[in-house]
Structures are given as C-alpha cells and as structure tokens.
Amino acid sequence: MTTGVRRRLGVEERRQQLIGVALELFSRRSPDEVSIDEIASAAGISRPLVYHYFPGKLSLYEAALKRASDELAARFVEPHEGPLGARLLRVMHRFFDFVEEHGPGFAALMRGGPAVGSSRTNALIDSVRQAAYVQILSHLGVTDPPPRLELVVRSWISLAESTALIWLDGRRIPRAELEPQLVNDFAALAAVSATYDEEMAALLRRIVKDEPADGPFANLAGRLVALAS
C-alpha cells in the first residue's frame, strides 16, 4: 500500500491558491467580514504563512480583486455574430452569472470594501468599465465615438452596474426579466439620443435594420406601441 504525499506548492502556485480561497470567501461574505485567519484556515496553512506571500489583507484583497476584475471584464467579450440585441442579451446573461456567483464580493467591489481609497483598487474597477465600454463600441463598429454615443454607452454600463447591486439586495425582480430589460434600456437610451443628433440617428437606423422581428429591440417597440394605445 502506498501513502499519498502532499506536494509542496511553489511560490506562485501558493499565491494563486490563496487568491482563489479569498475570492471564494469574498463571494459569500463581504471582504470586511473575512479575516486572514479564515483565509489561512481555508487554505490549510498558518496565518504567518499567508503574510509570507501577502504583506497584509489589503494586498491579498487587491490581488483577488484583480482576478475578479479580469473575469468580469471577460464576460463582456462576445463574438461579432448575429444581431446586436441578441449579443447584448448574452452579455447580460454572463454578467448576471458573475454577479450571482460573487454577490457579496461584487457588491464590495462596487460599493467599497477594505480597499476603499486605494488608487490600485479604483484603477481595477475603472478597467472593468473601460473594457466593457470598448467591447460595446466594437459591436457598434465605432472606433471614434461622438460625444452622445460615449454618453449612451457609459451611462448604460453604469445602469447595468447599479441594477445588479439593487437586484442583489433582495432579488425582488427575476433575473430573466432584468436581463432583457437592460438590453431594452440600451435601445431606449440610444433612441432618445438619436432624437437630438443625426449621427446617433444614423447609427440607430443601422442597428435596427438588422434586428429580427422576435428580437429584444423589436419587443421593446411592440411594448411601447401597446402602452401608447
């Protein structure tokens, strides 16, 4: 009979393990409530050994936040295939998957946690928003957005973020309704902007031209007509 031998982890392997453990704990409770002792216990190592790899909780939080921000930014990556409404709907589904999987950690990230005031933390949050912004522009086929388009896209990203935070606080509206509603919100913001700007109007006409009759944008138009009548 052979006895299993625990393999000693290398420095980077141990760091990645601790980041993963911290993310798992942060996904269930606010980082403010998670102690270094808990992280050490969950990782199966001593508290001093955690400090050997990370100088403090803030350092570990920032490393975990970096991994989470990279994963969240990746949720906005979508193949440029099919109508825009369907693409945005898939993006919103993956976005809410992340929010649901990492609820307290996501809330702490957006509302502030132990790293409040850290320029590195703020930069990571901004990097997620910028990655989402660049992805949306790429789907619109725009490289140099006019001011009103930038306003629409950035406002929509902020709306998705705040909607997710409110949803986490009680989940009183079904996810299955919020995801298409946010896609419709994008169309509505673009439509209002198009009434003020011909460049936005041309962009909106190009988007709508490729939308199917059963897509989320067409669904919005039908709902508005029904409401008016």
pLDDT one-digit tens code per residue, 21-58: 988 888 888 777 889 999 999 999 999 999 999 998 88
Q: How distant, in Å, are the alpha carbons of 72, 152, 153, 160 from that of 129?
A: 10, 13, 10, 11
Q: How distant, in Å, are the alpha carbons of 99, 130, 136, 162, 217 from that of 149?
A: 26, 14, 11, 20, 18
Domain spans in the chain, listed from the N-terminal domain onward: 69-228
Q: How distant, in Å, are the alpha carbons of 4, 113 from that of 1?
A: 10, 49
Class of domain 69-228: mainly alpha
What predicted TM-score, i.e. pTM, was given to this entire model?
0.84
Q: Within a 10 A sphere around the Cβ of 181, how many other Cβ atoms?
A: 15
CA pair distance 124, 118, nearest whole angstrom: 10
Look over the chain and give the mean of its residue pLDDT values, rounded to a whole number: 87
| pLDDT over 70 at 116, yes or no | no
Alpha-carbon torsion 125, 99, 116, 21, what sign? negative
| pLDDT over 70 at 7, yes or no | no
Confidence of residue 106 (pLDDT cuts 50, 70, 90): confident
| 10 vs 130, residue with greater confidence | 130
Confidence of residue 4 (pLDDT cuts 50, 70, 90): very low
Average pLDDT over residues 175-203: 95
CA pair distance 43, 26, nearest whole angstrom: 14
- pLDDT above 70 covers what percent of the chain? 93
Query: Could you tell me if 67 and 17 are in contact, meaning their C-beta atoms sit under 8 angstroms apart?
Result: no
| pLDDT tens figures, 79-95 | 999 999 999 999 999 99
CA pair distance 117, 134, nearest whole angstrom: 26
Average pLDDT over residues 202-222: 87
Alpha-carbon torsion, ordered 203, 204, 206, 210, to 10 deg: 150
Structure tokens at 166: 């409110």
Q: How distant, in Å, are the alpha carbons of 80, 127, 156, 157 from that of 73?
A: 17, 8, 15, 12
Helix ranges (DSSP H) in the chain: 11-26, 36-43, 47-53, 57-74, 84-101, 103-111, 119-140, 147-168, 175-194, 198-209, 216-228
Q: How distant, in Å, are the alpha carbons of 10, 68, 88, 122, 136 from that of 64?
A: 18, 6, 27, 14, 26
Q: What is the pLDDT of residue 114?
A: 53
Q: Within a 10 A sphere around the Cβ of 45, how many other Cβ atoms?
A: 18
CA pair distance 127, 130, nearest whole angstrom: 5
| 3 vs 85, residue with greater confidence | 85
